[in-house]
């Protein structure tokens, strides 16, 4: 059976990654598109080959009334996720939801509760979990090959041209660098460290918003303690561009990854200074395939609602 998947929001990530990834997955196809303007939805639908007889909408309710629509990918500003996801779940549609899942803890909880009640799959779009190098590191760590983790750090930044993006907006976004990339770093740390160290027990942060003086973080430094031994530092910024870096230091090995925090599944990784080979694959294809396979009962969602919710709770604490 081929699943019919709709895309909500026709912005950058939908256009450059999610719709092209959907084209490559097995067992699903782009069915329909929602935009604030039908003409933009129609253009996107034509560009990416959406297959529904009526494939372009500006009303979410009308899109969700389509009985042939099986699921949606939501790729809109963060503060819109909750109302759109809740509406989709109530219409019985499965959901792959962009990160961070919501801008309040209450919204994150409501999304997970409604999806559970309506028995629809809810996956969070943390594509770094589908980076093949990261997957090798996670397997080695979880299998005990690297020894016990003691310290990890991630640096991921970009240079924003100005503060006109919705992420810097008072209500459409809740965090800026922390939502753009920090939430990914939190998910990466949780994926790696949670199974071997246990939950986050402490969090400290320093947040700077001095350049634009807006409501949200421009540069943020967040420290997390996992269990009682491992510490993870995360630095994010929209004020400068730097090669991304992820380090994981364990009792038997040190992992250094450069340029792996990004969209393309590439970068370089060394373990104790020796290169780690991995196949460079588009991580968004893995992410969307996991969503499709979970709907069909062939796999479990990699990042379920409960993880998305915990991530939002940590973001809220970090920005406080």
Ligand X SMILES: NC(=O)c1ccc[n+]([C@@H]2O[C@H](COP(=O)([O-])OP(=O)(O)OC[C@H]3O[C@@H](n4cnc5c(N)ncnc54)[C@H](OP(=O)(O)O)[C@@H]3O)[C@@H](O)[C@H]2O)c1
User: Binding segment for ligand X among 69-77, 271-279, 298-306, 311-319 (CB under 6 A)?
Assistant: 69-77
- Give the strand pairing for 28-34 and 56-57: parallel
Contact call for residue 99 and ligand X (CB under 6 A): yes
Binding segment for ligand X among 72-80, 112-120, 155-163, 188-196 (CB under 6 A)?
72-80
* Contacts (Cβ under 8 Å, ≥6 apart) of 15: 44, 47, 48
Please list the residues that pair with 239 across neighbouring strands: 159
* 3 beta partners: 28
What b/e sequence results for 288-306 when a residue is b if at least 16 CB atoms lie within 10 Å of its CB, and e otherwise? bbbbbbbbeeeeebbbbbe
Closest distance to ligand X from the beta carbon of 59 (Å): 12
CB of 36 to ligand X, least distance (A): 4
Question: Token pair of 24, please?
Answer: 């490559």
Q: Write the burial class of residue 237 (CB in 10 Å: 0-12 exposed, 13-18 middle, 19+ buried).
A: buried
In whole angstroms, give the CA distance from residue 224 to residue 234.
8
Which CB, 140 or 179, lies closer to ligand X?
A: 179
Asked if 158 is part of the footprint of ligand X (rule: CB under 6 A), the reply reads no
> CB nearest ligand X: which residue?
11
214 scored as a contact of ligand X (CB under 6 A): no
Region near ligand X per CB under 6 A, out of 33-41, 63-71, 110-118, 288-296: 33-41
Q: What is the DSSP letter of 234?
A: E
Min dist. Cβ of residue 129 to ligand X (A): 11
Q: Is 104 in the site for ligand X (CB under 6 A)?
A: no
Torsion of CA 8, 10, 14, 16, to 10 degrees: 170
Tokens representing 159 are 């240079």
Q: Find the part of the chain contacting ligand X (CB under 6 A) among 7-15, 48-56, 110-118, 300-308.
A: 7-15
Q: Site size for ligand X, by CB under 6 A?
A: 22
Residue span 112-131 as binding mask against ligand X, x where in contact by CB under 6 A, dash where not = -------------x-x----
Binding site for ligand X (CB under 6 A): 9-14, 35-36, 40, 75-78, 80, 98-99, 125, 127, 166, 172, 179, 263
């Amino acid at each position: 059976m081929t699943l019919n998947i709709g895309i909500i929001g026709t912005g950058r990530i939908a256009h450059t990654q999610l719709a092209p990834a959907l084209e490559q997955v097995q067992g699903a196809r782009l069915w329909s598109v929602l935009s604030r303007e039908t003409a933009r939805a129609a253009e996107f639908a034509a560009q990416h080959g959406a297959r529904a007889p009526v494939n372009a909408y500006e009303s979410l309710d009308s899109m969700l009334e389509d009985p042939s629509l099986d699921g949606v990918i939501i790729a809109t500003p963060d503060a819109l996720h909750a109302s759109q996801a809740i509406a989709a779940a109530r219409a019985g549609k499965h959901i792959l939801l962009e990160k961070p899942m919501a801008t309040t803890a209450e919204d994150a909880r409501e999304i997970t509760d409604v999806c559970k009640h309506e028995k629809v799959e809810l996956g969070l779009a943390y594509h770094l979990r589908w980076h093949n190098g990261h997957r090798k590191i996670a397997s080695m760590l979880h299998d005990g090959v690297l020894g016990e983790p003691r310290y990890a750090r991630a640096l991921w930044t970009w240079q924003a041209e100005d503060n006109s993006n919705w992420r810097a907006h008072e209500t459409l976004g809740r965090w800026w660098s922390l939502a753009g990339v920090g939430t990914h770093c939190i998910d990466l740390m949780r994926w790696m460290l949670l199974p071997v160290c246990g939950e986050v027990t402490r969090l400290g942060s320093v947040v700077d918003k001095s350049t634009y003086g807006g409501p949200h973080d421009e540069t943020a430094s967040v420290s997390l303690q996992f269990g009682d031994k491992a510490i993870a530092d995360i630095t994010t910024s929209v004020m400068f561009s730097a090669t991304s870096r992820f380090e994981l230091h364990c009792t038997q090995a040190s992992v250094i990854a450069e340029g792996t925090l990004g969209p393309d599944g590439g970068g370089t990784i060394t373990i104790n200074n020796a290169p780690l080979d991995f196949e460079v694959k588009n991580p968004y294809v893995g992410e969307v395939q996991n969503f499709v396979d979970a709907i069909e009962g062939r796999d479990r969602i990699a990042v379920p609602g409960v993880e998305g919710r915990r991530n939002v709770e940590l973001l809220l604490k970090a920005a406080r």
